[in-house]
Amino acid sequence: MGGITNLLLAVVAGSVFLADICLPTPIAAGVIYILVVFIGVGHRNPRMIYHLGGLAVLLTIVGFFLPSIPPDAIDALINRLLSIGAIVIVTVMLGELRKKQDALLVASEALKAANTVIARERGAALAASKAKSSFLALANHEMRTPLNIIVGYSELLLDSEAPIERSLVQDYAAQIVQAGHRLVKIVTDMLSLSRHSIGSSELNMEPVDVVAAVRECAGKVRAASPGARIDIDAPPDLPAISGDRRLLDRSLLAVIENAVKFSPEGSLTRVRVGAVADRIQVVVTDQGIGMAPDLIERLGTAFLQEDDCLARRYGGMGLGLALAHAFIQCHRGTITITSRPRQGTVVTIDLPVAAP
């Protein structure tokens, strides 16, 4: 396309030159040359204006010498000089106009980019504001329940005028302790996620038997949910990995808890542990409610659950997978999820054997 354009410009310039040497009035040729310079305004190359201006000046000079010099040569020379002056002035003006057009185009593109960034930042700010509001509402909902239990049973113990049976006292105390543990877990998870987000998590590295950790976490889940059915499949000779046992336990516990929590009562949760090259994999498979694709993409986002309303069936702050994702990343590991709504979920934890 560029070659065709240059060829057309050459044809136009040649035609104008022929008109120049044939016209009786040289000043008319200068006007035609100025029109040629205007062609450069729309050319892809911004320097074409100056090229055409220089060509017009050169052809004007050549046109002066080609025809026989008339008696009024001085008048013809003056006309030619006027034509050259006009061409130079127009060339410079058009060149400056083209520069300003290019600068305006650059500024327009920069403005578009800035507007895009502003829109993105605004969206992020709105999302952060929404997340903050959701968190405050969720924290109020999740923390108010155990607090009400603690305050309510404590008031019963303190305000009761008649003696309370020992069995009731023990029951009240158990409710208070359970609610207290729930509060401690919520606060601990929030602080852990906060420390990780600011990069202050410290790893206490030691050899970790992943199979033993999985069995211990599964035992804790069974104790908290007596109806839970958890099947563990692991070879006896897996190598230990180097990691922070406390953080790995919390990650495994969160994944297994979620598998049981979001599955129908009495359904089977399978935990398979194996070695793949120099890595250890823990695969947790449940028969629960599953996860939508857009939810899987947001893996690691805090305060996230499939059902996001306060009246949802499943309680909790939605910190489990976020914490597990953060802690596994600290060990140079990965968590991947394969799931479909109402078809169960498969969570795969992949950990390197070598120290991070």
DSSP 264-333: -TT-EEEEEEEEETTEEEEEEE--SS---HHHHHTTT-TT--SS-STT-SS-S-S-HHHHHHHHHHHTT-
Q: Which residues contact 68 (CB under 8 A, 6 or more apart)?
A: none
Per-residue model confidence (pLDDT) at position 139: 67
DSSP state of 161: -
pLDDT in tens, 91-118: 777 777 788 888 888 899 999 999 989 9
Per-residue model confidence (pLDDT) at position 313: 45
Tokens, residue 115: 């507007």
What span, in angstroms and rounded, lies between the C-alpha atoms of 259 and 230?
10
Tell whether the model's pLDDT for residue 334 goes beyond 70. Answer: yes
The larger pLDDT score, comparing residue 151 to residue 194, is at 151
Mean pLDDT is lowest, of 74-83, 211-220, 226-235, 279-288, for: 74-83
pLDDT in tens, 6-34: 566 666 666 666 666 666 655 566 666 67
Per-residue model confidence (pLDDT) at position 143: 77
Fold matches, 133-197 and 205-352: no
Maximum alpha-carbon separation in the chain: 137
What span, in angstroms and rounded, lies between the C-alpha atoms of 31 and 20?
10
Tokens, residue 261: 């929590």
DSSP symbols for 217-259: HHHHHHHH-TT-EEEEE--TTPPPEEEEHHHHHHHHHHHHHHH
Per-residue model confidence (pLDDT) at position 252: 93
- The reported pTM is 0.52
pLDDT in tens, 125-179: 887 677 667 666 666 766 788 888 888 888 888 877 667 787 888 888 888 998 8
Amino acid at 345: T
Average pLDDT, the chain: 76
DSSP symbols for 7-75: HHHHHHHHHHHHHHHH-S-HHHHHHHHHHHHHHGGGSSSTTHHHHHHHHHHHHHHHHHHSSPPPTTHHH
Nearest CA to 87 out of 41, 50, 45, 44 is that of 50
What span, in angstroms and rounded, lies between the C-alpha atoms of 250 and 271?
16
> Crossing angle of helices 2-22/26-39, nearest 10°?
170
Per-residue model confidence (pLDDT) at position 12: 64
Q: In this structure, how many other beta carbons lie within 10 angstroms of the beta carbon of residue 146?
A: 20
Query: In the structure, what pLDDT confidence band is assigned to residue 230 with cuts at 50, 70 and 90?
Result: very high
Per-residue model confidence (pLDDT) at position 138: 61
Q: Which residues contact 280 (CB under 8 A, 6 or more apart)?
A: 210, 238, 239, 241, 273, 274, 350, 351, 352, 353
What span, in angstroms and rounded, lies between the C-alpha atoms of 323 and 254?
8
Mean pLDDT of 59-76: 62
Choose the CATH number for 205-352 among 3.90.1150.10, 3.30.565.10, 3.40.50.720, 3.90.1570.10.
Answer: 3.30.565.10
If one looks up domain 133-197 in CATH, what number appears? Answer: 1.10.287
Q: Is 289 left (phi over 0), alpha (psi -120 to 50) or beta?
A: alpha
Q: Which residues contact 270 (CB under 8 A, 6 or more apart)?
A: 230, 231, 233, 283, 284, 285, 286
Per-residue model confidence (pLDDT) at position 205: 87
What span, in angstroms and rounded, lies between the C-alpha atoms of 261 and 63?
94
Burial class of residue 286 in the structure, from the number of CB atoms within 10 Å of its CB (0-12 exposed, 13-18 middle, 19+ buried): buried
Distance of CA 232 to the CA centre of its chain: 37
Tell whether the model's pLDDT for residue 302 goes beyond 60. Answer: no
Every domain of the chain and the residues it spans: 2-111, 133-197, 205-352
Rg (CA), the chain: 40
